[in-house]
Structure 1
Amino acid sequence: MAESTIITGQFVRISQTPASIGERFLALIIDYFLIIIYVCATAALLMELHLLSEFQAIFFLCIIYLPILGYSFLCETFNHGQSLGKKLMNIRVVKVDGSTPTISSYLLRWILFIVDGPLTSGLGIFVVLLTKNSQRLGDLAAGTMVIKEKNYRKIHVSLDEFDYLTQNYHPVYPQSADLSLEQVNVITRTLESGEKNRAQRITSLAKKVQSLLSVTPRDENLEKFLQTVLRDYQYYALEEI
Structure 2
Amino acid sequence: MKTLQINTTQNVNINFTLASEVQRAGAFLIDNILKFAYLFFIYSVFTEATIEGWADDTWSAVALNALITLPVTFYSLYTEILMNGQTVGKKALSIKVVNIDGFKPSITDYIIRWFLRIVDFNLFFILVVYAYALGWDSYVGLILLLFLVGKCVGIVSVAISKKNQRIGDMSANTVVIYLKDTAKFSQTIMEEITDNYVPKYPNVIKLSDNDARIIKDTFTVASRTKDYKTLIKLRKKIEEVANIKAEEKSDIEFIDKVLKDYNYYTQNM
Return the TM-score normalized by structure 2: 0.54
**Equivalent position of 2:173 in the other structure:** 143
One of 217, 225, 229 as aligned partner of 1:157: 217
What is the CA RMSD across the aligned residues, in angstroms? 3.4
Q: CA deviation at 1:159?
A: 5.7
Identify the residue that residue 27 of structure 1 maps to in structure 2.
27
Corresponding position of 2:53: 53
Unaligned runs of 5+ in 1: 167-233
Cα gap change, 1:163/1:79 in structure 2, threshold over 3 Å: closer, same or farther?
closer
Bigger radius of gyration: 1
1:126 aligns with 2:156: yes
SS at match of 1:94: strand
Q: Is the 8 A contact 1:21 1:128 kept in 2?
A: yes
Distance 1:44 1:97, change over 3 A: same
Matching residue of 2:82: 78
- Residue 98 of structure 2 is aligned to residue 94 of structure 1: yes
d(CA) in 1 for partners of 2:51, 2:220 = 70
Q: Alignment partner for residue 230 of structure 2, among 232, 237, 241?
A: 237
On the 8 A contact 2:222/2:230 being kept in 1, the answer is no
Letter in 2 for 1:165: T
Q: Deviations over 1:96-118 (max 9, x none)?
A: 11111111111111121221233
Structure 2 match to 1:231 = none
* One-letter code aligned to 1:97: D
User: Does the 8 Å contact 2:163/2:175 carry over to 1?
Assistant: yes
Provide TM-score, normalisation by structure 1.
0.59
Over residues 53-74 of structure 1, what are the superposed CA-to-partner deviations in whole Å (9 max), with x where a residue is unaligned? 3418946543321231121112
Q: After superposition, where does 1:168-187 map in structure 2 within 5 Å?
A: none
Residue from 92, 115, 118 that aligns with 2:119: 115
The 1:51/1:11 distance shift into structure 2, 3 A limit, reads same
How many pairs does the alignment contain? Answer: 174
Match of 2:86, as an amino acid? Q
- Distance in 2, Cα, partners of 1:51 & 1:134: 42
| Cα separation, partners in 2 of 1:61 and 1:158, compared to 1, 3 Å | closer
Query: Who is 1:196 aligned against?
Result: none
CA distance, structure 1, for counterparts of residue 108 and residue 232 of structure 2: 33
Query: Judging changes above 3 Å, is the alpha-carbon distance between structure 1 residues 69 and 159 closer, same or farther for their aligned structure 2 residues?
Result: closer
Aligned mates of 2:75, 2:104 — CA distance in 1: 19
> Which of 51, 62, 67 pairs up with 1:63?
67
Letter paired with 1:53: G
CA contact (8 A) 1:17 1:151 kept: no
Calculate percent identity across the aligned residue pairs: 33
User: AA paired with 1:143?
Assistant: N
Q: CA deviation at 1:27?
A: 0.7
Distance 2:23 2:114 in 1: 18
Relative distance call for 1:53 and 1:9 in structure 2 (3 A) is same
Q: Cα deviation per residue 1:27-60 (whole Å; 9 max; x = unaligned)?
A: 1111111111111111112249969834189465
Contact 1:18/1:148 (CA < 8 Å) preserved in 2? Answer: yes
- Give SS of 2:180's match: helix
Change (3 A) 1:165 1:54: closer
More off after superposition, 97-106 vs 19-28: 97-106
> 1:64 & 1:98 partners in 2: Cα distance?
36
